[in-house]
Amino acid sequence: MLTRPEIFMITNSYIGVSGGYLGDFSYRTHEEFYPYFCDINISPAAYEGTTRQRFLTILENSDAPTQAKILKGVIKKYPVDFFPEEVRQAKQKMADEIGELIRRLESGQAVASEQLTITNETVERAIQDTKILIEKNGATSGVDRIHTALHGYLKEVCKQAGIALTDDENLTQVFKKLKANHPKLQQGGHRQGDIDQIISSFSNTLDKLNPIRNKASLSHPNEELLEEDEAMFVVNSAQTVLNYLNRKFKQ
């Protein structure tokens, strides 16, 4: 979702506001903006206030896919060459930022997190931090926290199952011990061999989370960070493992 500063950048700085009016919008052209430029059915007449106030309310209260459509509409209605030549360089920079916002909004939500039956304060705090950071700053900011959530969860499951760990075992080592020793991961079922291969593949995935977290996330002052799409992929991979294990252990 867009943050408040991002929304005000789009309205006040990119489109521009004068006397309560947004750009060259009238009440009529604002009404026409959503179906014509955004391909969505929204009526500003249902909201109170000036065109700027109505635009802000609609943008703030829309979900991520709708926000992306509105931003596309903004760029379509107000391309950089719409503005006077003396401000086009600044407008181009903002248009590029809006393009990145559209990519973020369209990159998809993170895999939904389920209520964990085995947890602790650290795990819950890390999960909440992940959600907040993704919403405010994008998936790259959530990589470190989802790693902490998964690592803490695996350690707590081992603790409650009586599986001995040393203090310095990383996420991959803990997962392998859990897979080898927890009775609920030993139970066979239909196509269990195929499932075991998928789990093994996820084990390899988790092995890559450690260097990603250490070398390409905000856990350390790394100069090169994951791009947004790859970061969301990492977050979703870790969350998928969490959801699967949570369902196995609450049976």
- Give 80-108 pLDDT, tens digit per residue: 999 999 999 999 999 999 998 888 787 66
Residue 200 pLDDT greater than 90, yes or no: no
Q: Which of 121, 127, 141 is nearest to 213 (CA)?
A: 141
- Both structure tokens of 174: 């803990």
Percent of the chain with pLDDT over 70: 96
- Both structure tokens of 26: 């009238």
- Give 3-30 pLDDT, tens digit per residue: 888 999 999 999 998 877 889 999 999 9
- Give 36-68 pLDDT, tens digit per residue: 999 999 999 999 999 999 999 999 999 888 999
Contact 199, 179 (CB under 8 A): yes
- Say what the alpha-carbon torsion angle 203, 204, 208, 213 is, to the nearest 10 degrees: -10
- Give 119-145 pLDDT, tens digit per residue: 999 999 998 888 878 777 777 888 888
Contact 58, 30 (CB under 8 A): no
**Confidence band for 188, pLDDT divided at 50, 70 and 90:** low
